[in-house]
């Protein structure tokens, strides 16, 4: 059975290798799942490189944090699933492999539908729900929500989830070519980052009709965070949930001192119980299966092509063009 194994921190081509592992055995309470599709994220590269804040592991370990597959074996005492059932894999299970054994209780049921899209449910989908439902719960119908990185999978989900609540979105992107594409997904306004926080803030003010902006989502960090803060009104909140730039968040003194803008971090560890989280996954999965939520897929790769996939994931913007999906069993 093939799997991508990481042996140290460093460049993917130096520290990861495709290995043959014994077939997994389902212990009591476990199921063996054949991985149909596994999503690759920027964080997967950061975990391999061992970036600051991403050094959690002992080695060797199997890479991959998200995926979907079919149950092929049942351990003793498992009654909630049968052979052939489709499930989401637990976050961080090591999904860049053909099969794995995991606790049945940690696998939410998955619906029929495009595996490539559904493979993004547990991380990107749940992140978007937490941001819109929890962090932006102060917003009412007709209010505006600001975000950068709007072309990301999570950004696209946020647009749809906010639209369904009657919340308008102002979306900051880096390329003009994305404007029509995001507006077709129900984005109310899409603007191109100017590189100058003051100029971008004026542009945001213009397209929103001077609306009060109390919250903004930041997945860029560095000066991207500063730009969000500059656009917000007094007592506004920046919610950071990523750092595409690989740099720390920056917030200008003038926004902290004069406007009392706050910067908070987002956590996937919401206050929802396991059953509540499963209910959210079910709702998201249904929306994804129906095409209401859709990520942009850049390419799919098999495990034999995993180094090419990792190199593709390292690209940005037009050079990557969406999410990378691994199909471990072809």
How does pLDDT run across 74-113, given as a tens digit for each residue? 999 999 999 999 999 999 999 999 999 999 999 999 999 9
| Domain shared by 155 and 101, yes or no | no
| Domain shared by 138 and 188, yes or no | yes
Q: What percent of the chain has pLDDT over 70?
A: 99
| Segment 164-195, tens digit of pLDDT | 999 999 999 999 999 999 999 999 999 999 99
- CATH code assigned at 157: 3.40.50.720
Q: How far is CA 329 from CA 45, 115, 141, 225, 253, in A?
A: 22, 12, 45, 40, 52
Among 152, 285, 277, 284, smallest CA distance to 217 is for 152
What range does the domain containing 194 cover?
126-265
pLDDT at 210 over 80: yes
pLDDT band at 270 (very low <50, low <70, confident <90, very high): low
pLDDT at 234 over 90: yes
Tokens of 183: 């507006």
pLDDT at 301 over 70: yes
Polymer length in residues for the chain: 330
| Domain shared by 112 and 139, yes or no | no
| Domain shared by 138 and 104, yes or no | no
- For 298, other C-beta atoms within 10 Å of its C-beta total 17
| Domain shared by 252 and 316, yes or no | no
12 secondary structure, DSSP code: H
* Averaged pLDDT for residues 243-252: 92
| Domain shared by 302 and 318, yes or no | yes
What stretch of H or E contains 31?
strand 30-40
pLDDT at 269 over 70: no
* Cβ contact 178:185 at 8 Å: no
Give the angle 154-6-64 at the CA atoms, nearest 5°: 25
Count of domains for the chain: 2
Does residue 299 lie in a domain region? Answer: yes
Place of tokens 């102060």: 138
- On the CB side of 88, CA atoms within 13 Å amount to 30
Q: How far is CA 241 from CA 98, 284, 308, in A?
A: 30, 19, 27
pLDDT at 317 over 80: no
**CA–CA gap between residue 136 and residue 161 (Å, rounded):** 11
- 327 conformational bin, left if phi > 0, alpha if psi -120 to 50, beta if neither: beta
246-258 burial, b at 16+ Cβ within 10 Å, e below that, comes to: eeebbbbeebeee
* Averaged pLDDT for residues 218-239: 97
Mean model confidence pLDDT for the chain: 95
């Amino acid at each position: 059975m093939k799997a991508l194994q990481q042996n140290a921190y460093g460049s993917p081509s130096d520290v990861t290798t495709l290995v043959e592992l014994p077939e997994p055995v389902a212990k009591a309470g476990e199921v063996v799942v054949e991985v149909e599709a596994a999503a690759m994220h920027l964080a997967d590269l950061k975990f391999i490189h061992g970036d600051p804040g991403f050094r959690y592991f002992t080695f060797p370990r199997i890479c991959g944090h998200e995926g979907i597959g079919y149950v092929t074996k049942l351990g003793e005492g498992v009654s909630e699933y049968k052979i052939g059932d489709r499930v989401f894999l637990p976050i961080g299970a090591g999904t860049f492999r053909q099969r794995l054994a995991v606790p049945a209780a940690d696998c939410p049921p998955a619906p029929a539908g495009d595996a490539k899209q559904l493979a993004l449910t547990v991380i990107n989908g749940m992140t978007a729900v937490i941001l819109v439902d929890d962090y932006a719960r102060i917003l009412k119908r007709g209010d505006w929500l600001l975000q950068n990185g709007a072309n990301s999978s999570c950004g696209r989900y946020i647009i749809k989830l906010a639209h369904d609540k009657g919340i308008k979105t102002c979306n900051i992107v880096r390329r003009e070519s994305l404007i029509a594409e995001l507006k077709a997904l129900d984005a109310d306004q899409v603007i191109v980052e100017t590189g100058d926080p003051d100029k971008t803030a004026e542009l945001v003010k213009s397209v929103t009709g001077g609306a009060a902006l109390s919250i903004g989502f930041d997945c860029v960090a560095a000066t991207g965070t500063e730009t969000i803060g500059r656009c917000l009104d007094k007592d506004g909140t920046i919610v950071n949930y990523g750092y595409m730039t690989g740099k720390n968040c920056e917030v200008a003194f003038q926004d902290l001192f004069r406007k009392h803008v706050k910067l908070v971090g987002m956590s996937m560890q919401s206050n929802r119980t396991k059953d509540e989280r499963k209910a959210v996954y079910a709702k998201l999965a249904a929306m994804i299966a129906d095409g209401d939520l859709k990520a942009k897929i850049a390419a799919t790769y098999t495990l034999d092509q995993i180094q090419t996939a990792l190199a593709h994931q390292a690209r940005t913007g037009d050079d990557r063009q969406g999410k990378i999906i691994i199909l471990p069993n072809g």
